[in-house]
Structures are given as structure tokens and as C-alpha cells.
Amino acid sequence: MTPATATDMSSTPPAAIAAPPMTPALKEWAVAVEALIQGSTVLLLRKGGIREQGGSFVVEQSQVLLYPTYEHQQPALLKPTYAQQVTPVASGWHPPSVQLRAWADITHVFQITQAEALATLLPLHIWNQQFAAERWRWKPRQPLYGLALRVHLLTPPQEIPYRSEYGGCKSWIGVPLAEFGSKFSSCFEPAPVLNDLEYSQRVHQIQQALQSAQPSS
């Protein structure tokens, strides 16, 4: 078994998201969304929430809104640079409205099947070593997934009301198209955080790190 396998989703046609009745959104810690927006990382690690359909993480869409969450992010789980950005909140807390600032193309999905491969990625994501190891051990029969995201800024950012269906330990939600009104198309004009060369270099870093963990033949 190789340490990681990758799915290249970069051939998926996108420049802007089509306009379905519900716009797909990936739920992620607010601190991670901010790191993506700032260009500090392009890599998310996921094993899926408790309420994932089928019990495991699946990439349902290649173009998604980034929906920030707050309840489960804890400073002790993050590298110091990111830990200082987090203020823990009570269980069940959520803001009355949520600001959506970015959308992303998920260009690559890496299936990480060995601890050595995960270790090589430590410089490239926001989790600290202890939390990465804990997530690796949780549901040990299931792989950990690395997602490479080409992030674009929403222009302008959108403020949407919180809805009860957005809650819970799940990775994917649908945001009603009506929340954007007539501005939907203009919001999703490509406005990448990183240019083409910068982004390709970041993805290459991930690929090289994973390749270095593969056993020599």
C-alpha cells in the first residue's frame, strides 16, 4: 500500500460556480478559512464529521463556498501561529449571521494511508503534530484526506443568517441561492488569492512531501 494516493480534480471545468438552487459549502474552522484566505496554506486535512453520510468523508463538489465554524476549534489543537487567533466558544454556540468571504476550487484530493505520509505534511497545514496524530488514529480503518484548495475571494463578501440546518458535525451544507439575491454571478467571478504559479508551487510541495514518504523500490 502506498502512503498516499491522489485524485487530480484540476481538469474539472470551472471558472465560476454554476447557479443551482442550493450552493454547496464546505464547513471548516474559521481559523482554517482565514489561513486559506491569507494564502498561509492551501491544504486542509479531513476525516469527516460524526454525521457524514455513509460514515466517511467524500468530496461531494469540486467548487464550494467556504463556511467558517467556531464551536470545535481549540488553540491546543493548532500550531502556535494559528492558536493565538482562536477564542474558544461554548458548545452549541454560533453567530446569528455568518460572513462568507471566499469560495474555492478543490483541485486535488490526496488519500493518506500511512503515518509517514502524514508526517511529511506537517509544515504545510495548520494542525499541530499531536492533533494530526489523534485524527489519524480516529477511525483507523479510514484514510485521512488532504484537500488542495484554490481559493477565491467573494466580491463582495456575503452576510447570511444562520440556519439550524447548517449545524452539526458534517462537512457539507447547502446555502440557498436566494441568500445572494441578484448578486450571485458577480460574487463568483474568479479572484484568486494566489496566482497560477504560486498555487502550482504549493500543490507541488504537497506532492513532493507525499512522494518522499513512499518506500523506495
Quote the domain boundaries for residue 65. Answer: 21-211
Q: 30-60: per-residue pLDDT in tens? A: 999 999 999 999 999 998 655 555 556 888 7
pLDDT reported for residue 84: 96
pLDDT reported for residue 120: 95
pLDDT reported for residue 69: 95
| 49 Cβ contact partners less than 8 Å away, ≥ 6 residues apart | 27, 168, 169, 170, 171
pLDDT reported for residue 126: 97
Residue 14 inside a domain? The answer is no
CA–CA distances in Å: residue 116 to residues 2, 4, 7, 24, 84: 10, 10, 19, 33, 28
Q: Answer whether 213's CB lies under 8 Å from 120's CB.
A: yes
* Of 10, 53, 6, residue with least CA distance to 207: 6
Provide the residue type at 160 as one letter: I
pLDDT reported for residue 162: 94
Q: And the C-alpha cell for 162?
A: 444562520
Residue 217 inside a domain? The answer is no
Query: Cα angle vertex 93, ends 79, 27, to 5°?
Result: 60
**DSSP state, residue 211:** H
User: Low-confidence residues of the chain, pLDDT below 70?
Assistant: 1-7, 9-20, 48-56, 182-186, 215-217
Residue 107 inside a domain? The answer is yes
How many domains, in total, are found in the chain? 1
Q: Answer whether 65's CB lies under 8 Å from 25's CB.
A: yes
Q: What is the pTM of this model?
A: 0.86
**One-character DSSP codes across 81-92:** HHHTT-----TT
Residue 12 inside a domain? The answer is no
pLDDT reported for residue 3: 57
**DSSP state, residue 215:** P
Residue 2 inside a domain? The answer is no
CA-based torsion, 168, 40, 148, 62: positive or negative? positive
Residue 77 inside a domain? The answer is yes
Residue 6 inside a domain? The answer is no
CATH number (domain holding residue 56):
2.30.130.30
Residue 216 inside a domain? The answer is no
